[in-house]
A and B are shown apart, each in its own frame.
Chain A
């Protein structure tokens, strides 16, 4: 009998309180609870974090840079969205 592969989970760690969870890698597990325990064993052996998130990789919907030009393009022609676009005299430039 062909062994069925366990589902893939993505692992996110909060390295300390106040910071966002960051993606650190992935692992295979039977269910979310098991994934959490594996994540602890694999990614948190040296106090790398205070909180773990696991999420089934299949549940992630992701965009790709190459997908649709129009998805990202409009950002390139709006320099006025940046604070540096506004040239102020040096007397008041510290705002």
Chain B
């Protein structure tokens, strides 16, 4: 392990021992710089994903087909905003302010899940996102409930409790289409066709190509590898698609009797790299929308601060 930290530092030894003994690392503990950077990168990326993830769904609030679907969608998006807040607060225990994290996002230095750079083109996408995108997120987040950084693990426990509603409403919604008219079923199939591969990409590169995996696994920030989690998602999702009578867009997908798992085709890693590096269908739109929302909210933050300083001045007087 190469880092700026001195390997003989007794604090580092104590830290490594805690991790090895499956103890959680807590905010007041001494931690090596490299650990701080890694956990901050992961948590800030996760927090940004929750917040940016509100955009594709926000796009459909005013066009939800029924009042019930509209209320559900609003409640779900409100949850995503809340999840962002849990994660930002947990990340702030590392001594980095929320303002710095948002600035890093706006400057393109911090990333968010690349799936949110795909557009939500039809109403069926709301079902597909809940079913597939939240479904994939849950697989990852259930595993992260045991991550070694205490505040992160506790935020995950809270988030997982709420995510189940997200996936179930998505499945219920796409089921209504899959069991509906011919056009509705086609719309559901089209959504699955477009969201399937990006959902598999959510788990990141193959273990053999993952830049940060080794260190994150060593520190138990990640508890299971990208490929293990992706396989779990495929295995649980295939029967769900079958039940809907929809076809997963992968000619290589088949049950492997020997391994007791599904074999599936290769992800288009060129597309994955393109989207991560800024050239997905909606990267610029997502970021500029976030910048604008942040700027548009400035007067509210300013007004709250001005009110508070006036109130304090009055108390002193």
Contacts and interface: CB of A to CB of B under 8 A. Distances in A.
Interface of A: 14, 17-18, 20, 51, 78, 80-83, 85-89, 91-92, 95
Given A17-B24, A18-B24, A51-B28, A92 B165 contact: no
Interface stretch (B91-99, B166-174, B272-280, B306-314): B166-174
A85 B24 contact: no
A32 B171 CA distance: 52
How many of chain B's residues touch chain A, expressed as a range?
A: 20 to 34
Contacts of A89: 243
A80 B169 contact: yes
B169 A86 contact: yes
The 9 closest A-B pairs by CB, nearest first: A18-B24, A86-B168, A83-B164, A17-B24, A83-B165, A86-B172, A17-B23, A80-B72, A81-B75
B75 A95 contact: no
A82 B175 CA distance: 18
Interface string B170-205: 011001000000000000000000000000000000
The secondary structure that dominates the A interface is: loop
Contacts of A18: 23-24, 26, 150, 153-154
Contacts of A81: 75, 79, 165
Contacts of B135: 95
Interface in B242-265: 243
B68 interface: yes
Contact of B168 (A17, A78, A91, A95): A95
Given A78-B71, A80-B68, A80-B72, A20 B154 contact: yes
B239 interface: yes
Most chain A CB neighbours (cut-off 10 Å) among B165, B168, B172: B168
6 contacts: A17-B23, A80-B75, A83-B164, A85-B165, A91-B239, A95-B171
